[in-house]
Amino acid sequence: MNQPHKRYDLARLMFGILFIAILILACFWVIQPFILGFAWAGMVVIATWPLLLRVQKLTWGRRAPAVIIMTLLLVLLFVLPFSLVINSIVDNSGTLVDWLSKPENWHIPTLTWIENIPMVGDGLLATWQSMTADGGKKLVASVQPYAGASATWFVSQVAHVGRFMLHGTLMVVFSAILYSKGEAVATGIRHFALRLAAERGESAVILAGQAIRGVALGVVVTALVQALLGGVGLAVAGIHYATLLTVLMFICCLAQIGPSLILGAAVIWLYWTGDNTWGTALLVWGCLVTSLDNVLRPMLIRMGADLPLLLILSGVIGGLLAFGMIGLFIGPVVLAVSYRLMTAWINEVPQPLPAIPDVSEEI
């Protein structure tokens, strides 16, 4: 007996999909100002959730005091220092851009001390003298426009204090909400993933959480610790614009370049100005701060995922260009989650079928 074919109302189906799409776009339009703040808060909460549980144990198992303590820690240890640094950069941005835009402020050093470097000192000194034979006018003229443009671009990126403060405030508010309702939110996300893709959806949520924790702890926390310690060394050694250099050091650490670029330039500056005592002290301190990466990062990243260097570098630069300062944190996380999910999907290769026996040999 032939079964009758089920007929579909194509117009009804298309209008239903169109209505759902319009509803999703409308919701996205409404919550668009809060997306970056919520994403930032989600990353922070996922990374610091074990710390919240420890604080909750110390507060006799009560969640409300633990949430208040964690929220205050976010404000005191994260939002407030970055706000002070950005305000300092904005206050000194005019002086920095004006200094870089004037060629007379660019003095070419003689660098005769490099002659004492074993084996390569004579060659380096001869090369430097040939480059600065005309007083360095050509060298300064070729470098100065790029330096001025780079400084102007950097200041324009960090000058959005209002936007950064808005996202920082939203991050603190959403973090407090997620801290208090974390289990319910996690259950809802897992149920949605199960409805969307069954067991694979739940596995994807777990992998995403591991990637977020790996980036937050293994990359951001390591960069923050190195930048703060390096900034303390710069301030104690008497380096000018220590706060600005601390921000640059933090960006270099996020981009996996390390703090040695900024600290090395500061050490060279101290030796060049004749302050050998502080130059040697900063050199020793810089070596300790740089080597901290080899100890702190593996210990923190053990909770997450070991991620490629190119992925982190692309996330930092792309996030900075796309979202400003907040993109330094969101960019690597987005790429890390995508990378982990794509890797897990690629590795789901079915078992190879057994080889078909050659029956011709048995005949």
Which class for 188: exposed (0-12), middle (13-18), buried (19 or more C-beta within 10 A)? exposed
For the entire predicted model, the pTM comes to: 0.63
Alpha carbon distances (Å) from 54 to 42, 60, 99: 19, 10, 49
Report the C-alpha gap between 283 and 298 in whole angstroms: 24
CA angle 329, 97, 144 (to 5 degrees): 105
Lowest mean pLDDT among 55-64, 78-87, 209-218: 78-87
Report the C-alpha gap between 67 and 322 in whole angstroms: 32
CA angle 3, 7, 12 (to 5 degrees): 160
Amino acid at the residue 203 = S
Model confidence over 88-141: pLDDT tens digits? 666 665 565 555 555 555 555 556 666 666 666 667 767 766 666 655 555 555
Confidence (pLDDT) at 69: 93
Amino acid at the residue 154 = F
**Where does the pLDDT of residue 362 fall: very low under 50, low under 70, confident under 90, or very high at 90 and above?**
very low
Model confidence over 233-257: pLDDT tens digits? 998 888 877 877 887 788 778 766 7
pLDDT (average), residues 284-308: 73
Nearest to 35 by CA among 167, 175, 188, 182: 167
